[in-house]
């Protein structure tokens, strides 16, 4: 787990809200080139690396996304504070009081700040405890001497500048990893670690497999426009969502049977379950009611593939998230077991 956890720490410390992912894509590309692989960018800025297997006619496609939640400057207020617009599906409550960075497009500079409710002070505002956390009430307090919109604009800040959130990544002695954006940088770290092992151990996969690092998942689309011909199976490695009525926890790999887009492929789900049972990989089957993945986006785009979704269990998704090394290990083991197995249509039927 050391390599995976270390990679998570590196990835979470690279800001990458959807639409602002060049730095992290370049980081991953350099890492893969460093072990002799040849990653390629598409026009949208995502990254794909193809690993040749024993069979090329039928292929597998595996994704994890590196784009995260974030925000943009919506307006500069008369007092120099910033109104924001959210990128991705999360609530204003989850970022109340969070440190942030404004990435100033006009200068390339970074200006730090804090996201706060306008009526934060209980000594001044009667409704400090009850005011709605909404776009109208939330703002960025810049760490700069600003008294007016002109002052903020003097820093180069304009509408459309990206805002990233402080991740506060921490690894506890008890094996927990706490951080923003474990969705989905935990899974990206798992795929990167497996790619390193493929090279180091000279592994030959049964099928040519495309590993795709998507950069638009949080806004509803990602790894599907560049899927190679002859792709038969699509595995999205993303987070498992926890909460009431959920089976997913922080110590197993979560296999999604259905999300907001509908059921995932039954046969492929059965194969993943069977692999867990064969290899004693702890797992949970689950339904994520308000969720979509790169794999489900591919289905909506009309691709004729078998699709599945797995991931480590993540607590407090789209807020200050947490998982455990046991969940990362279970997910990593299932990724390897699946990619080293035969496709379900190649396996003998059950008695």
For residue 243, give the CATH number of its domain.
3.40.630.10
Q: Which of 56, 201, 217, 325 is catalytic?
A: 217
How many CB atoms are closer than 10 A to CB 33? 12
If asked whether residues 59 and 203 sit together in one domain, one would say yes
Q: Is-contact 63 214, C-beta < 8 A?
A: yes
Identify whether 277 is a catalytic site residue: no
pLDDT in tens, 66-93: 999 999 999 999 999 999 999 999 999 9
Residue 175 forms part of a structural domain? no
Binding residues: 65, 183, 218, 238, 318
pLDDT in tens, 138-158: 999 999 999 999 999 999 999
pLDDT of residue 346: 66
Q: How far apart are the first and last CA of the chain?
A: 38
Q: What is 16-36 written as a DSSP string? A: -BTT--HHHHHHHHHHHHTTT
If asked whether residues 305 and 337 sit together in one domain, one would say yes
How many CB atoms are closer than 10 A to CB 302? 7
Q: How many domains does the chain have?
A: 2
pLDDT of residue 126: 96
Whether the bond into 184 is cis, omega within 30 of 0: yes
User: Both tokens of residue 217?
Assistant: 């998942």
pLDDT of residue 225: 75
pLDDT of residue 344: 87
If asked whether residues 128 and 215 sit together in one domain, one would say no
Mean pLDDT value across the chain: 96
User: What is the span of the domain harbouring residue 161?
Assistant: 70-165
Binding residues for Zn(2+): 65, 183, 218, 238, 318
Stretch 294-314: mean pLDDT = 95
If asked whether residues 91 and 16 sit together in one domain, one would say no
Residue 173 forms part of a structural domain? no
Stretch 227-248: mean pLDDT = 96
If asked whether residues 93 and 32 sit together in one domain, one would say no
pLDDT of residue 223: 72
Last residue of a domain, one of 135, 165, 195: 165
């Amino acid at each position: 787990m050391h390599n995976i956890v270390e990679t998570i720490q590196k990835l979470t410390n690279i800001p990458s809200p959807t639409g602002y992912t060049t730095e992290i894509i370049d980081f991953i590309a350099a890492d893969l080139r460093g072990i002799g692989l040849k990653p390629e960018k598409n026009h949208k800025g995502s990254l794909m690396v193809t690993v040749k297997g024993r069979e090329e006619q039928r292929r597998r496609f595996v994704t994890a996304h590196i784009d995260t939640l974030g925000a943009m400057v919506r307006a500069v207020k008369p007092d120099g504070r910033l109104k924001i617009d959210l990128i991705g599906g999360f609530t204003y409550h989850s970022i109340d009081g969070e440190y942030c960075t404004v990435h100033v497009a006009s200068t390339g500079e970074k200006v730090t700040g804090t996201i706060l409710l306008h009526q934060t002070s209980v000594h001044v505002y009667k409704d400090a405890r009850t005011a709605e956390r909404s776009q109208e009430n939330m703002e960025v307090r810049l760490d700069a001497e600003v008294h007016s919109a002109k002052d903020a604009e003097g820093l180069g800040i304009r509408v459309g500048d990206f805002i990233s959130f402080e991740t506060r990544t921490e690894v506890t002695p008890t094996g927990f990893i706490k951080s923003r954006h474990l969705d989905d940088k935990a899974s990206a770290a798992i795929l990167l670690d497996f790619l390193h092992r493929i090279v180091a151990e000279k592994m030959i996969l049964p099928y040519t497999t495309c590993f795709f690092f998507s950069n638009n998942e949080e806004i509803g689309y990602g790894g599907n426009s560049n899927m190679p011909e002859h792709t038969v199976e699509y595995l999205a490695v993303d987070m498992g969502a926890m909460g009431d009525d959920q089976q997913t926890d922080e110590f197993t790999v979560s296999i999604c049977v259905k999300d907001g887009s509908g059921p995932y492929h039954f046969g492929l789900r059965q194969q993943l379950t069977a692999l867990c049972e064969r290899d004693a990989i702890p797992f949970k089957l689950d339904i994520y009611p308000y969720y979509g993945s790169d794999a489900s986006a591919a289905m909506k785009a009309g691709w004729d593939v078998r699709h599945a979704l797995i991931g480590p269990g993540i607590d407090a998704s789209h807020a200050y998230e947490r998982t455990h090394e046991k969940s990362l290990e279970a997910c990593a083991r299932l990724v390897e077991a699946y990619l080293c197995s035969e496709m379900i249509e190649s396996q003998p039927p059950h008695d």
